[in-house]
Structure 1
Amino acid sequence: MAVRYNPNPVRTQEPLCQVNTWDEVETSSLYTVECNGQAQTVYHTDSFDYVIPVVRDDSPLQVTVQVHKPFEEAVVRPAKAGILPKREGERLSLSLPRPQKLTLELDGDLKTPLYILCTHWAPKPEKVDHLFESGKIYNVGVLHVKAGETVYLEEGCMVFGCIDAFIADGIRILGNGVLNGCVWHPKEENGGKPMIRMVLCNHIQIQGITVVDGGQWHVLPGACQNVEIDDINIMSRVCTGDGIDIVGCEHVALRHSFIRASDDCVCIKAASHPDPAANRDVRDIRVEHCVLWNAEPGNAVEIGYEVRCDEVCDILFKDIDIVHCEYEGNQSGGVLTIHNADRPYIHDIVYEDIRIEDAQEKFIDIKVLDSKYSLDRKRGRVEKIYFKNIEILNGAFPVSIIRGFEMANEMSRPQDFYFDHVVILGQEMRSPNEMRMVVELAHNLHFGEQIYSARNPF
Structure 2
Amino acid sequence: MKKINLLILLVLLCCMLQAQHVITYDAPGGLKYSAHNDDFTVQVREPGGDWQDLFEWKVQVDLDNVQTASMVNFDFEGEVEVRVRKNNGAVNSVQIRPLSLGIVPAVNGQVISFSLSQPTKLSLEVNGDKLHNLHLFANSILKEKPNLDDPNVIYFGPGIHQPKDQPGDVFHISSGKTVYIDGGAVVRAKLLIDRAEDVRIIGHGIIYQSERGVEIRHSTNVTVDGPVFINPSHYTIYGGQTTGLTVRNIKSFSCKGWSDGVDLMSCSNVVIDGVFMRNSDDCIAIYGHRWDFCGSARNYQIKNSTLWSDIAHPTNIGLHGYAEVGGDTIENITFTNIDILEHDEDDRDYQGCMAITCSDNNLVRNITYENIRVEDFQEGQLFNFRVVYNEKYSGAPGRGIENVLLKKIQYNGNFANPSVIKGFDGERAVKKILIDGLTINGNSVKKIADANMQVGGFVNELKVK
TM range (shorter): 0.7 to 0.9
In the TM superposition, residue 111 of structure 1 has moved relative to its aligned partner by: 1.2
In the TM superposition, residue 394 of structure 1 has moved relative to its aligned partner by: 3.4
Aligned to 1:371: 390
Does 2:296 match 1:281?
A: yes
**Contact 2:363–2:398 (CA<8 Å) still a contact in 1?**
no
**Contact 1:220–1:246 (CA<8 Å) still a contact in 2?**
yes
Does 2:66 match 1:50?
A: no
In the alignment, residue 197 of structure 2 is paired with which amino acid? D
Does 2:246 match 1:228?
A: yes
| 1:31-66 Cα shifts (integer Å, max 9, x gaps) | 1111212211110133421111222x3x22211111
1-structure distance, mates of 2:345, 2:263: 21
In the TM superposition, residue 435 of structure 1 has moved relative to its aligned partner by: 1.1
In the TM superposition, residue 397 of structure 1 has moved relative to its aligned partner by: 4.6
Does 2:461 match 1:447?
A: no
Aligned to 2:436: 420
Moved more, 119-128 or 100-109: 119-128
In the alignment, residue 148 of structure 1 is paired with which amino acid? G
Aligned to 1:5: none
How many residues get paired?
Answer: 410
1-structure distance, mates of 2:208, 2:280: 16
**Contact 1:51–1:115 (CA<8 Å) still a contact in 2?**
yes
* Residue number among 81, 89, 92 corresponding to 1:62 in the alignment: 81
Aligned to 1:132: 156
Does 2:421 match 1:402?
A: yes
2-structure distance, mates of 1:270, 1:24: 43
* Residue number among 187, 190, 197 corresponding to 1:159 in the alignment: 187
1:160-199 matches, within 5 Å, as 160-181=188-209, 184=210, 193-199=211-217
SS in 2 for 1:444: strand
In the TM superposition, residue 431 of structure 1 has moved relative to its aligned partner by: 2.2
SS in 2 for 1:198: strand
Aligned to 2:116: 96
1-structure distance, mates of 2:240, 2:177: 18
Q: Percent identity among equivalent residues?
A: 22
- Distance 1:91-1:378 versus aligned 2 partners, 3 A rule: closer
Moved more, 143-152 or 430-439: 430-439
* Residue number among 339, 342, 359 corresponding to 1:321 in the alignment: 339
1:112-131 matches, within 5 Å, as 112-122=132-142, 123-126=144-147, 127=150, 128-131=152-155
In the TM superposition, residue 328 of structure 1 has moved relative to its aligned partner by: 3.4
In the alignment, residue 298 of structure 1 is paired with which amino acid? A
Aligned to 2:18: none
1-structure distance, mates of 2:271, 2:219: 15
* Residue number among 26, 40, 46 corresponding to 1:31 in the alignment: 40
Aligned to 2:93: 73
In the alignment, residue 364 of structure 1 is paired with which amino acid? F
1-structure distance, mates of 2:195, 2:347: 39
In the TM superposition, residue 138 of structure 1 has moved relative to its aligned partner by: 1.6
1-structure distance, mates of 2:53, 2:380: 39
**Contact 1:203–1:225 (CA<8 Å) still a contact in 2?**
yes
In the alignment, residue 408 of structure 2 is paired with which amino acid? N
**Contact 1:120–1:208 (CA<8 Å) still a contact in 2?**
no
| 1:261-299 Cα shifts (integer Å, max 9, x gaps) | 1111111012334xx1x221111100000011110x210
In the TM superposition, residue 253 of structure 1 has moved relative to its aligned partner by: 0.4
In the TM superposition, residue 372 of structure 1 has moved relative to its aligned partner by: 3.0
* Residue number among 339, 346, 358 corresponding to 2:357 in the alignment: 339
When Rg is computed on C-alpha atoms for both structures, the one with the higher figure is 2
SS in 2 for 1:110: coil
2-structure distance, mates of 1:291, 1:142: 29
* Residue number among 350, 364, 371 corresponding to 1:353 in the alignment: 371
In the alignment, residue 173 of structure 2 is paired with which amino acid? V
In the alignment, residue 173 of structure 1 is paired with which amino acid? I
In the alignment, residue 424 of structure 1 is paired with which amino acid? I
SS in 2 for 1:377: coil
**Contact 1:119–1:232 (CA<8 Å) still a contact in 2?**
no
TM-score by length of 2: 0.84
1-structure distance, mates of 2:409, 2:179: 38
2-structure distance, mates of 1:121, 1:143: 26
2-structure distance, mates of 1:281, 1:211: 28
1-structure distance, mates of 2:86, 2:223: 37
SS in 1 for 2:382: strand
SS in 2 for 1:305: coil
**Contact 1:397–1:425 (CA<8 Å) still a contact in 2?**
no
1:242-321 matches, within 5 Å, as 242-273=260-291, 276=292, 278-295=293-310, 297-308=311-322, 309-321=327-339
**Contact 1:286–1:316 (CA<8 Å) still a contact in 2?**
yes
**Contact 1:139–1:160 (CA<8 Å) still a contact in 2?**
yes
2-structure distance, mates of 1:304, 1:348: 13
2-structure distance, mates of 1:77, 1:395: 18
In the TM superposition, residue 93 of structure 1 has moved relative to its aligned partner by: 0.2
1-structure distance, mates of 2:103, 2:117: 9
Aligned to 1:451: none
SS in 1 for 2:100: helix
Gaps of 5+ in 2: 1-27, 46-50, 60-66, 164-168
- Distance 1:374-1:22 versus aligned 2 partners, 3 A rule: closer
Please provide the CA RMSD for this pair: 1.8
- Distance 1:395-1:90 versus aligned 2 partners, 3 A rule: farther
TM-score by length of 1: 0.86
